């Protein structure tokens, strides 16, 4: 019955839909240029000192009320338009990745070798979300729609967890629904989740000694790390197979002829289910303790990234699904087709993936391989996400190919699909508050009595220099 | 001054020496035959049910008062002759080693493949000591010497630690001096020690699970053992270099498709210094605990062998040194020479070792690579030990070559050197109680305030089936 | 069109179906008693010297032409009735599992601790298949049906791979379709597959040395095994997550004071895809070679079990699905219900599993956690398999619970469901050779140009003593 | 006979001895100041751009013929005076150690935290050797002694191996004897050797992959390193116990969420015997190859430091022994005593070590725990070395305490003892060429047919930036 009503309402708002899509079109070039500008100055998490102000300026210029430097993060901001309920938030991100500098060409060719690059397409993410917010604002303004549209500028998604500090700061308390998207290689709405993750630094402290003259007087911190990591390897067999545990040794001693007094491991674990992850994490901690115990060293753990898995919202996914079907995909120009073909040749295996003209709306569940702090938001407010074809089919995030696409016209076309979908969904939620209520009910159902938890203490400071370590 | 006195006394007892050597000669064939009989029926520790009675019968027939089954061990016994102080004990052993069955030939050729063999020459050890005891008894009887000569039949030297239970049973309380010897490849008296050792079984208990269907539900006991042992390997760099740690995995799981619920490691550690060993042992225990911690299994330790290092006694070593110089070495017959030459070809490297005609008396200290429960006795009563050339030069204990020699005429000749040395030293101690007193003083000096400790609880039962496990 | 035809034919043969089910009923008690008799004398693989002859006698008594001791395996046999095409084979197994002795009660209670038990229900498997063969034979005899029904007595499914030697011996060359079943906890027909597996013994040969006296002269075979296994643990992260690798150490040295000259690992790897498994296996071999290289030991591999994954056959699964729906499930008596309730309490978690009255026919694919040599047959001849509710819902194979059920009336009821399903399917195939042809086409489609390969050499002898090692 | 002659000759040159000691005294303050100047500007190996020219200037000013930048090393130089045979070389070093900056006080207090410091006292080493060379030159000049005295300025002893490149460049070809010394905590001449060492970088190259999304596509270079190092740990048990193997992980991956494509280990091994070390090294290489094999990565080794053990020269040691006995020790002032007492409190255990007034001359052999490229020189030319009490008794090299002493008056007093000893010995060798000939004979005897080998290729370039990596 609710579905039938929704369809009727959707039909009823067809005019609104056309209008808001026109607003998107009107601003598309402008925000496309902004996305390109951000792409050209890739900035690491919490250091988005050009990208964040650029988006803030544009939103302010479009009548949004902008508050910057929120939640203790200089590059975090909120932009708000309208008033009263419902409060709809669209999430924006704009941080880049280290070491993935790349030109907008189909061969690996960094702008500056070793420099950051937008290999996760957050230049598009932040810009499309802002474009949609502006289009919705214009629809609110034109028709006096009740409710509030907000854009949240969330820094440092790539490990810094800006959204978590925004939750802790209470910025999601009055929010009714959250819409988000992420660049991808296809236009897709589903109930897919992400991997909950947890990570940090394991530091071992031993006793230095001349490694040739008195090794028996030393207690090797590196031994502590090695014993821990060996134990972690044995753990792999005995955790659910979807679990991921990966690590590097960030400090393995200072001189080969000195028994290392210090060693450091950076380790991340993931699982589609946060509870399962917590169980695995306890066992990783035991491995670390065992490393210290057996090597007679001391171990300290510093909490790093901790992202929840995405809690899908069936109602909002249906809204987004209808919106994307209305929004539609796009076609490549001959030049774009050539670029895509060339790029696909650089991928190992053939990509049997849908093209940009395809829109895929499905109710499949399961977890992708990535983690995001949008997951944490999804446990606090009803949220839904989707991807659009900003990357050539087969291209994965965190690759030079993704960085190249993010600066190309293909990226900008995918970005417009995202903005159209968000704008349509946002307007639908504002026009039909019943959808927002339904989303709250499916939210409660998915929560099933659970509630959001995080290892990031509510009173902790954002790790503003995490990307520089 | 004391030395000069000793020399005078030694000279004065020259007639006694000649007499006691004559007693040894008179019984040498008989005890040689006994050594061969024991060699032909090699019995593992605590199961010397033929060897022990054979020696008991012979000692009883020679007038000794024999008490069998002492200290809770069916094959342990004491044989005593004479009365009053001093009480001199000669140690006898008669257990064989598993898997070292060998004929008395110069090529590897087991009597029964996989069966035990006398590869440590304890058939000679027990027989020569008895021969010496009988010779001393005859000297006591002939001259009405004051004091007591005893033979202690000590089972299970190869891991069972029979002597430790005899100490616990109080059998060394009234003893004034202990003389002992061990088969070797040269005639040698020195202040050498042995390695203190400690060992036992580390048992890990986990949770079985189908290794393909539900590995995540299993907790692998074998993982516990592997993590422990990996940690032990890392420990090696950080212990004094003379330390030895060696292990086997005695149970590594029951079926490859089941997560092992049980695993067992047998591990021994050694160091010339028992205190250092105790420190190392604590760290091995931490490795074991770390293995259990990291694998979420339970670890139990069962105490096994724990032998003290030998505490040398300078006085008794001087007595033995003089005795051996009087006793002299022996010459090979042409057949024995041929046997020795052939056997030496089976050894990897050339043996620049003294021949059986050589007697080497030195005051060098240091530790050999072996461990013995005679070490424990040496912390309780002044004790000294020596070796004689029962094995072809270059042959080490616990080899098929040693087992072959132990059954040959070479072994029996070396055995007679040992009996002559023990008999001479025993008579000297009985005739010169001042030597015994001096031995007590050097004993106290070497102890330096320390006292014997053992991990074998005073009220524990001898592990009568240890060799069968 | 083919489906409609099949439905018509199925309807047309309704009388045949009723008849063959009557034949099953007539013999059900007799074969139930046989299943119990096999259950009472559980025999390990290749040693089914009572179970195999028992089934042979019964089939011979029912007019089958029996050839025993085929393919070099004393307990393998073929039993044949009828003539000409199509040739339909029903697979029978009858081997037990080590260490899983169990009474037919709902608490863990072995008949003889440590002895074998029918924890995989092969007593039911072999008996139900024979019951079905006899029922089909009677239908052939009654109506002069064209074609041949055969029962293949396949020994040692639990690791010995009897079916592989029967393939090598050419016994499947003239076969047109294979029907099989396996005891389970529900009545289920699907397109599920099994895990391809491969396994064997990795033997390391080093140089023994006294571990305290000359560890530097030893080359530890156990080190070789440990280094290999450590490397295997590191491998886990970098293989597809569905892969399973599990191992035990079957020989970890003979004495803690000897550097191990020999060590042995038994390892199995699995993956739903045989090609992927082959790739993983190459890398496991590299780990083993690395163990030998780093420890200066020699490694030898002895091929063990190598089973292919099951290649589902869509046509035959449809035939079996219709047959099982016709065959139907069964109800528990109050006593059986009580038994089931008590047993379920012994299972860790609640089992939300369908009961024995339910029949589930589905086209889902995917791989179960088990491996079987019926997988190899499925790459050579069109084959399909199903399970019936011989075990209480929630009970997995290779548990004492499964062994208890296999001897109970519940097991026998499930066995009759299996016989009814097989009998119905067998008669349908004989009556409608077009189904057999269709099965061949779907077989070719699934093969997709690939063909059966195995690491078990065509000229190798069956490892008749594998279960005794 | 030779000894008696030597004593006579030594007595005969008593006047020369007094003279040369007077020359040392005359220049002692000047070179003491130079040592302090070098101490104040500590420079790492091959970067001694102030220290080397300072010494060169002083030697040139004293009439030496200086050739700088020899053997491809900007800071290496030779300084020569006199002509003809014998050619006596005194070795000088002047490089500092990283991270050991320290003021000349008795508490740990760096001048610049993290900066280099003269914790091996090479500021004293280079200055005392130059002081001795100048004193010998004056004796040559005064008496027209035949022969040549040279000072070799050898950079980068701490890992760069400057002397090896000077050997390769032929600079030792015409040299008859080499005298050297090293700062220590006592005045000592012996036949002690050093540890031969070998080291380098093991680099592993794998395939990067997203560690959560596609770990199975990655080949972890860190796994390669870990498997290698685990294998190295297992190796420890099976090498001679005097062996040392120590390592750090210099690169353990770049991001925890990326399978590491690169990892690097820096490893050093040592043994008193170069041949034994070579055998051990081969096995370490196998461990590294095993790491690559098992992880499917590629391993490359870059040769680093390779120093030979010191080959003692009995003749030259006797010359130095007599010289040091003549040179004598020194006394602390009350202030120096206070400094020494305070510093000894910072040492863990009490130092039962001889004071600076003691001179110890002995013929003991054995190996200290350090390694030096003077070892390589000792295999090419008869060489001998000694230590003087430049450090407070109990202070070891490579500590902040050593760095403090090296800048203090204690250091300068010890330096004068060294200069006196070298000067006396140098003059004796020039006056008595028969000693030089005798030294060549003992050299040949110690070589026993062996000759110098090194892993540093004759045509390789000095690793001028090794200390900066």
Q: What is the 3 state secondary structure string of chain A? A: CHHHHHHHHHHHCHHHHHHHHHHHHHHHHHHHHHHHHHHHCCCCCCCCCCHHHHHHHHHHHCCCEEEECHHHCCCCEEEEEEECCCEEEEEECCCCECCCCCCCCCCCCCCCCCCCECCCCHHHHHHHHHHHHHHHHHHHHHHCCCEEEEEEECCCCCCCCHHHHHHHCCCCCCCCEEEEEEEECCEEECCCECCEEEEEEEEEECECCECCCCHHHCECHHHHHHHHHHHHHHHHHHCCCCCEEEEEEEEECCCCCECCCEEEEEEEEEECCHHHHHHHHHHHHHHHHHHHHHHCCEEEEEEEEEECCCCCCHHHHHHHHHHHHHHCCCCCCHHHHHHHHHHHHCCCCCCCCCCCCCEEECCCCCECCCCCCHHHHHCCCCEEEEEEECCCCCCCCCCHHHHHHHCCHHHHHHHHHHHHHHHHHHHHHHHCHHHHHHHHHHHHHHHCCCCCCCCCCCCCCCCCCHHHC
Task: State the nearest Cα–Cα gap between C234 and chain A, in angstroms.
Answer: 6
D234/B233 CB distance under 8 A:
yes
Residue D74 CB coordination number (10 Å): 17
Is the confidence at residue B9, as pLDDT, over 60? no
pLDDT at C169: 97
**Residue A259's closest chain B neighbor by CA?**
B238
Residues in chain B closer than 8 A to A234 (CB atoms): 220, 223, 226-227, 294-295
Q: Residue B359: what are its φ and ψ, rounded to 5°?
A: -125, 125
pLDDT at D3: 53
Longest CA span, chain B? 84
**DSSP-based three-state secondary structure for D400:** helix
Is the confidence at residue B13, as pLDDT, over 80? no
**DSSP one-letter string for D282-298:** HHHHHHHHHHHHHHT-E
Q: Residue B257: what are its φ and ψ, rounded to 5°?
A: -100, 15
Is the confidence at residue A262, as pLDDT, over 70? yes
* Average pLDDT in chain A: 94
Per the listing, tokens 């200072």 go with A254
User: Which of B226, B231, B232, B236 to mutate: most D Cβ within 10 Å?
Assistant: B236
Average pLDDT estimate for B226-249: 97
Confidence grade of residue B368 (pLDDT, cut at 50, 70, 90): confident
Average pLDDT estimate for B301-330: 96
Residues in chain D closer than 8 A to A284 (CB atoms): none
| The three-state (H, E, C) secondary structure of B269-288, written as one string | EEECCHHHHHHHHHHHHHHH
> Does residue C218 contact residue D239 with C-beta atoms inside 8 Å?
no
Q: Identify which of B90, B182, B151, B76 has the alpha carbon closest to the alpha carbon of residue B406.
A: B182
| H helix or E strand, kind and range, residue D226 | helix D221-235
Confidence grade of residue A468 (pLDDT, cut at 50, 70, 90): confident
C-alpha span between B411 and B264 (Å, rounded): 38
**Residue B262's closest chain C neighbor by CA?**
C248
Instruction: Provide the Cα torsion D395, D399, D401, D404; round to 10°.
Output: 130
A246/C234 CB distance under 8 A:
no
Q: Digits of tens for pLDDT over chain C (469 positions)? A: 445 444 444 444 567 788 999 999 999 999 999 999 999 999 999 999 999 999 999 999 999 999 999 999 999 999 999 999 999 999 999 999 988 899 999 999 999 988 999 999 999 999 999 999 999 999 999 999 999 999 999 999 998 999 999 999 999 999 999 999 999 999 999 999 999 999 999 999 999 888 998 899 899 999 999 999 999 999 999 999 999 999 999 999 988 988 999 999 999 999 999 999 999 999 999 999 999 999 999 999 999 999 999 999 999 999 999 999 999 999 999 999 999 999 999 987 666 788 999 999 998 888 888 899 999 999 999 999 999 999 999 998 888 999 999 999 999 999 999 999 999 999 999 999 999 999 999 999 999 999 999 999 999 999 998 887 6
Q: What percent of chain B has pLDDT over 70?
A: 96
Average pLDDT estimate for B458-467: 91
Task: State the nearest Cα–Cα gap between A133 and chain D, in angstroms.
Answer: 32
C-alpha span between C238 and D214 (Å, rounded): 8
pLDDT at D14: 65
Q: Identify which of B302, B310, B414, B317 has the alpha carbon closest to the alpha carbon of residue B358.
A: B414
Could you read off the pLDDT of B279-304 as tens digits, one per residue? 999 999 999 999 999 999 999 999 99
> What is the ipTM for the molecules in this complex?
0.86
**Residue C230's closest chain A neighbor by CA?**
A230
pLDDT at A13: 59
Could you read off the pLDDT of B376-411 as tens digits, one per residue? 999 999 999 999 999 999 998 888 999 999 999 999
C-alpha span between D48 and D74 (Å, rounded): 9
Quote the tokens at residue B13: 């007892």
C-alpha span between D197 and D309 (Å, rounded): 7
Is the confidence at residue B321, as pLDDT, over 60? yes
Q: Identify which of B65, B58, B59 has the alpha carbon closest to the alpha carbon of residue B81.
A: B65
| Cα separation values, C151 from C37, C90, C278, C381, Å | 19, 5, 32, 15
Chains adjacent to D (≥3 CB pairs closer than 8 angstroms): A, B, C
Is the confidence at residue D122, as pLDDT, over 90? yes
Residues in chain D closer than 8 A to B230 (CB atoms): 230, 233
pLDDT at C469: 62
Q: Residue D178: what are its φ and ψ, rounded to 5°?
A: -125, 130
Average pLDDT estimate for D392-397: 91
pLDDT at D34: 98
Q: Identify which of C158, C63, C65 has the alpha carbon closest to the alpha carbon of residue C118.
A: C158
Residues in chain C closer than 8 A to A233 (CB atoms): 230, 233-234, 236-237
Confidence grade of residue B8 (pLDDT, cut at 50, 70, 90): very low
> Does residue D353 contact residue D186 with C-beta atoms inside 8 Å?
yes
pLDDT at C399: 87
**Residue B242's closest chain A neighbor by CA?**
A216
B212/C369 CB distance under 8 A:
yes
Is the confidence at residue A176, as pLDDT, over 70? yes
B248/C226 CB distance under 8 A:
no
Could you read off the pLDDT of D25-72 as tens digits, one per residue? 999 999 999 999 999 999 999 999 999 999 999 999 999 999 999 999
**Residue B287's closest chain A neighbor by CA?**
A294
C-alpha span between A201 and A414 (Å, rounded): 37
Instruction: Specify the pTM.
Output: 0.90
C-alpha span between D380 and D367 (Å, rounded): 19
User: Which of A221, A245, A294, A297 to mutate: most B Cβ within 10 Å?
Assistant: A294
Average pLDDT estimate for A207-213: 88
For B268, the closest of C248, C256, C268 (CB atoms) is C256
pLDDT at B398: 87
User: Which of D252, D305, D347, D366 to mutate: most A Cβ within 10 Å?
Assistant: D252
More confident residue, A15 or A78: A78
pLDDT at D12: 46
Residues in chain B closer than 8 A to A257 (CB atoms): none
* Average pLDDT in chain B: 94
Task: State the nearest Cα–Cα gap between D415 and chain A, in angstroms.
Answer: 24
Task: State the nearest Cα–Cα gap between C175 and chain A, in angstroms.
Answer: 38
D370/A213 CB distance under 8 A:
yes
Residues in chain C closer than 8 A to D212 (CB atoms): none
Quote the tokens at residue B49: 């049910």
Q: Count how many Cα atoms sit within 13 Å of the Cα of residue C168 in the half-sphere of its side chain.
A: 20
Among D331-335, D360-364, D404-408, the range scoring the smallest mean pLDDT is D360-364
CA D436 to chain centre: 23
C223/D238 CB distance under 8 A:
yes
Could you read off the pLDDT of D273-287 as tens digits, one per residue? 999 999 999 999 999
Residues in chain A closer than 8 A to D195 (CB atoms): 212
Residues in chain D closer than 8 A to A368 (CB atoms): 213
B241/D241 CB distance under 8 A:
yes
User: Which of A231, A233, A271 to mutate: most B Cβ within 10 Å?
Assistant: A231
pLDDT at B98: 87
Q: Count how many Cα atoms sit within 13 Å of the Cα of residue C295 in the half-sphere of its side chain.
A: 37
Is the confidence at residue D468, as pLDDT, over 90? no
Is the confidence at residue B6, as pLDDT, over 60? no
CA D453 to chain centre: 18
Instruction: Provide the Cα torsion A339, A342, A348, A350; round to 10°.
Output: 80
Max avg pLDDT among A417-426, B110-119, B255-264, D112-121: A417-426
Could you read off the pLDDT of B171-181 as tens digits, one per residue? 999 999 999 99
User: Which of A238, A245, A272 to mutate: most B Cβ within 10 Å?
Assistant: A238
Confidence grade of residue A14 (pLDDT, cut at 50, 70, 90): low
> Does residue D112 contact residue D51 with C-beta atoms inside 8 Å?
no
Residues in chain A closer than 8 A to C237 (CB atoms): 233, 236, 245-246
> Does residue A138 contact residue A81 with C-beta atoms inside 8 Å?
no
pLDDT at B213: 87
Average pLDDT estimate for D458-463: 94
Quote the tokens at residue B171: 């059998």
Instruction: Provide the Cα torsion B103, B108, B109, B110; round to 10°.
Output: 70
For D294, the closest of C223, C231, C240 (CB atoms) is C231
Packing angle, helices D274-295 and D221-235, rounded to 10: 140
Confidence grade of residue A398 (pLDDT, cut at 50, 70, 90): confident
> Does residue D424 contact residue D323 with C-beta atoms inside 8 Å?
yes
DSSP D309: P
Residue C63 CB coordination number (10 Å): 14
For A213, the closest of D247, D256, D396 (CB atoms) is D396
| H helix or E strand, kind and range, residue D281 | helix D274-295
Residue A424 CB coordination number (10 Å): 29
Could you read off the pLDDT of D243-267 as tens digits, one per residue? 999 999 999 998 898 899 999 999 9
């Amino acid at each position: 019955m609710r579905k039938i009503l929704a369809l009727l309402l959707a039909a009823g708002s067809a005019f609104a839909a056309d209008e808001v899509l026109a607003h998107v079109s009107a601003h598309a070039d402008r925000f496309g240029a902004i996305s390109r500008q951000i792409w050209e100055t890739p900035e690491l998490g919490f250091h988005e000192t050009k990208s964040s102000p650029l988006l803030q300026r544009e939103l302010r210029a479009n009548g949004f009320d902008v508050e910057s430097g929120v939640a203790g993060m200089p590059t975090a901001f909120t932009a708000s338009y309208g008033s009263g309920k419902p409060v709809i938030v669209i999430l924006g991100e704009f941080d880049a990745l280290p070491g993935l500098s790349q030109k907008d060409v189909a061969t690996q060719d960094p702008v500056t070798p070793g420099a950051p690059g937008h290999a996760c397409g957050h230049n598009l993410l932040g810009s499309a979300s802002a474009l949609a917010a502006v289009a919705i604002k214009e629809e609110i303004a034109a028709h006096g729609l009740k409710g509030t549209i907000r854009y949240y500028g969330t820094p440092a998604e790539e490990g810094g967890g800006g959204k978590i500090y925004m939750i802790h700061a209470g910025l999601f308390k009055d929010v009714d629904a959250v819409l988000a998207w992420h660049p991808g290689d296809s236009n897709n709405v589903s109930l897919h989740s992400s991997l909950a993750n947890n990570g940090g630094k394991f530091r071992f402290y031993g006793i230095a000694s001349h490694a040739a003259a008195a090794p028996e007087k030393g207690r090797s911190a590196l031994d502590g790390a090695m014993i821990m990591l060996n134990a972690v390897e044995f753990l792999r067999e005995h955790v659910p197979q979807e679990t991921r545990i990966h690590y590097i040794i960030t400090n393995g001693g200072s001189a080969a002829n000195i028994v290392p007094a210090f060693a450091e491991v950076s380790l991340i674990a993931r699982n589609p289910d946060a509870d399962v992850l917590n169980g695995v994490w306890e066992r990783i901690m035991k491995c670390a303790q065992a490393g210290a115990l057996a090597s007679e060293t001391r171990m300290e753990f510093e909490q790093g990234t901790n992202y929840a898995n995405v809690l899908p919202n069936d109602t909002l996914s249906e809204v987004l699904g209808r919106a994307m079907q209305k929004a539609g995909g796009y076609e490549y120009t001959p030049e774009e087709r050539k670029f895509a073909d060339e790029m696909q040749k650089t991928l190992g295996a053939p990509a049997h993936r849908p093209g940009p003209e395809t829109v895929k709306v499905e109710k499949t569940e399961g977890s992708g391989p990535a983690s995001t702090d949008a997951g944490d938001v999804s446990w606090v407010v009803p949220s839904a996400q989707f991807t659009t074809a900003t990357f050539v089919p087969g291209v994965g995030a965190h690759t030079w190919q993704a960085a190249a696409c993010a600066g190309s016209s293909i990226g900008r076309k995918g970005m417009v699909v995202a903005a159209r979908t968000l704008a349509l969904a946002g307007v639908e939620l504002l026009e039909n508050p019943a959808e927002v209520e339904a989303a709250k009910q499916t939210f409660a159902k998915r929560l099933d009595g659970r509630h959001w938890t995080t290892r990031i203490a509510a009173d902790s400071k954002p790790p503003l220099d995490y990307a520089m370590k």
